[in-house]
Structure 1
Amino acid sequence: MRSGSGSDVGHRRPKNEDSFLSDGDRRLFVVADGMGGHPAGDVASREAVAALDLALSNGALESSDRMQALTQALIKAHEAVVEAATTDPEKRGMGTTAVVAHLDADETTLTCAHIGDSRAYVLTDERLIRITEDHVWGGRGGRSLTQAIGSSKKVEPEAAEVDLQPGDKVLLCTDGLTDMLADRDIRDVLLQDADAQALCDQLIETALERGGVDNITCIVIEV
């Protein structure tokens, strides 16, 4: 397994409110997108990633039910962000999305869970498959998150498991990427003959070329 990761503030945001974790030793990967327009979005995403990292340490990933382990970790992350917000009035209402993924020791199964609209994809047999479903509502007038870590009263993470085969690629990303690139564009980049870091860099560069209106963060994992 090889992985590449990166994050860019984009062209229009004053600061980067995304956070990520790429831990190849534990085969654990997280992407979080602090909610722009809300207070302390960057704090929310950092708190969520740190809480997920902690919740999934000490053997939690060795559970026979990894979907449950990831789901519970997201709930703990939500509780941690809510608690952090209650200690500082300036952080009240802060929130973030998160998608977390784990590969088993044989690298044949991907387990992922998410809250919000950060996504997980798998490229297999030249097909790009979206594993997550955005937690949003709304149409042309604008989309709103139906749930987010920290800012929702209650969160209900969704989890999934996907079989992997050698040569497959996994992508975790924030909407700063997917708002700029259609799925077919993402597929075209991931099909390139390049290593995981180069593919990650290319995805971010392409999103910037298309406008880069939001922070852009992604992790590419090659099995």
Structure 2
Amino acid sequence: MNIEFLERLHSSKMPQYNNIQSTILTNDYGPIALPPFTFAFKTTACERHPTRNEDSILLEEETGLAAVFDGVGGSAAGEVASQTAVQATRQEWKRIVRQFQQGRKKHTFLEYTERSNLPTLLERLILNADEQVRTEGARRAGTDNLATTVALAAICRIPGQRHYKLLFSHVGDSRIYLLRSDESLKRLTTDDGLLGKLVENQLIDNEDALHIDQACSTEQLSDVEFSYFRLRGGITQALGGPIAPTVHLGECTIYPGDRLLLCTDGIHDNLTDKEIEAVLRNSSRNAAARILVEQSIERSHEPRNMNIRAKPDDMSAIVITCRF
């Protein structure tokens, strides 16, 4: 069987996996074991500084780890912050995997059980990255004025089951979304930003915050709401800041056909959730990340009087599809 043809054959829209008979394909050389997940990514620097991308991506496909980081701090500091966090997270994750899979020649997804205490390990993973940004990152950048957001997802096997457990964590305003074939797009993370603080202080409610966050024109907003919209990109915490962050943790079940998106604010500031959902639902698993970045770039070129979301920025997306 021609595997390249198979990818094209099933790539016209979001996959449907209701009755999977086999996870093995064959070609002229024998059986081929396909991985249960596909990982696709795209990242690009802001057009205002094309040689310096302050976003960084982390992918450990064999062990099910993915993350996006968005550095802040200006000049080279943001780039150093996100890259330092990637290096620290990768090293610590590999240590965790070795600890859980001692003696194995090839490491795979971690096994999720109630006794595995993986959420706590995920929190330590992020806090270790925070410490490394604050120390090693500051040393490399020559300044302590640097930080980075993070949105991280770890896919784990559930013994005896054909579905998976997703453990996720985040700090800042990089996001994780979940799309199922029969449900609307669901945002798994809540930004550490102005709108969240306004909700926390009961100045607006969650519905108001969503309305402001998804606006495309000033006609959709009052003057006060528009002032909130303009400031919605400010974050209230990040890795490498003056104090250790509060790491947000969560988990959910992942089924065949589910699609995950991890992205920095260059994507979700430019595109609405409905626009993101349309791309995830109608694009192939290999093309969705690229198309999200391309559409975000197109939006960033629009005049603000046409769409108030338009914003030049670094842009990064990871799309993970559960095949079986």
The verdict on a shared fold, with TM-score over 0.5 as the criterion, is yes
SS of residue matched to 2:57: strand
Q: Which amino acid in 2 is paired with 1:3?
A: F
Report the counterpart of residue 153 of structure 1 in structure 2.
243
Count how many residue pairs are aligned between Structure 1 and Structure 2.
Answer: 222
Q: Identify the residue that residue 4 of structure 2 maps to in structure 1.
A: none
Task: Select which of 14, 19, 22 maps to 2:56.
Answer: 19
Q: Judge which range, 160-169 or 119-128, deviates more.
A: 119-128
- Unmatched 5+ residue regions in structure 1? none
Q: 1:28 aligns with which of 55, 61, 65?
A: 65
Give the Cα separation in 2 of the matches to 1:91 and 1:197: 39
Alignment of structure 1 residues 53-68 onto 2, 5 Å: 53-60=90-97, 64-68=116-120
- What is the DSSP-based 3-state SS (H/G/I as helix, E as strand, rest coil) of the residue aligned with 1:117? coil
Q: Partner residue of 1:217? A: 316
Moved more, 201-210 or 146-155: 146-155
> Is contact 1:30–1:172 with CA below 8 Å preserved after alignment?
yes
Counterpart in 2 of 1:123? 179
Structure 1's 115 and 65: CA in aligned 2 closer, same or farther, altered over 3 A? same
Name the structure 2 match of 1:203.
Answer: 292
Contact 2:123 2:247 in 1 (8 A): yes
Q: CA deviation at 1:197?
A: 2.3
Q: Which moved more, 1:142-151 or 1:167-176?
A: 142-151
Partner Cα distance (1:141, 1:214) in 2: 15
Structure 1 position 36, deviation (Å): 5.0
TM-score under structure 1 length normalisation = 0.92
Query: Post-superposition shift, 1:98?
Result: 0.7
Tell me the TM-score normalised to structure 2 length. 0.65
Q: 5+ unaligned residues in a row in structure 2: which ranges?
A: 1-36, 98-109, 196-227, 301-310
Say if 1:13 and 1:214, in contact at 8 Å, map to a contact too. Answer: no
Kept after mapping to 2: 8 A contact 1:13/1:213:
no
Counterparts in 2 of 1:172-191, with a 5 A limit?
172-191=262-281
Q: Secondary structure at the match of 1:214?
A: coil
- Quick one: which amino acid aligns to residue 167 of structure 1? G
Amino acid in structure 1 at the alignment position of 2:166: L
Q: CA deviation at 1:142?
A: 1.3
Which of 256, 262, 272 matches 1:166? 256
Deviation at 1:132, TM superposition (A): 0.6
1:57 match: secondary structure? helix
Counterpart CA distance in 2 for 1:184 and 1:137 is 22
> Which residues of 2 match residues 103-122 of structure 1 at below 5 A?
103-106=155-158, 108-122=164-178
Match of 1:81 among 133, 140, 146: 133
Q: Which residue of 2 aligns with 1:52?
A: 89
Q: What letter is aligned with 1:31? A: V
Residue 76 of structure 2 contacts residue 141 of structure 2 at CA under 8 Å; is this kept in 1? no
Sequence identity (%):
34
Contact residue 57 and residue 68 of structure 2 kept, 8 A: yes
Q: Return the index of the structure with the highest Cα Rg.
A: 2
**Per the alignment, in what secondary structure is the counterpart of residue 142 of structure 2?**
helix
Of 41-50 and 100-109, the range deviating more from structure 2? 100-109
Partner letter of residue 127 of structure 1? S
Do the aligned residues in 2 keep the contact of 1:7 with 1:18 (CA within 8 Å)?
A: yes
Task: Indicate the residue corresponding to 2:229 in structure 1.
Answer: 140
Equivalent residue for 2:74, pick from 37, 42, 65: 37
Seen in structure 2, the aligned counterparts of structure 1 residues 51 and 184 have a Cα distance that, compared at 3 Å, is same
Matched position secondary structure for 1:91: coil
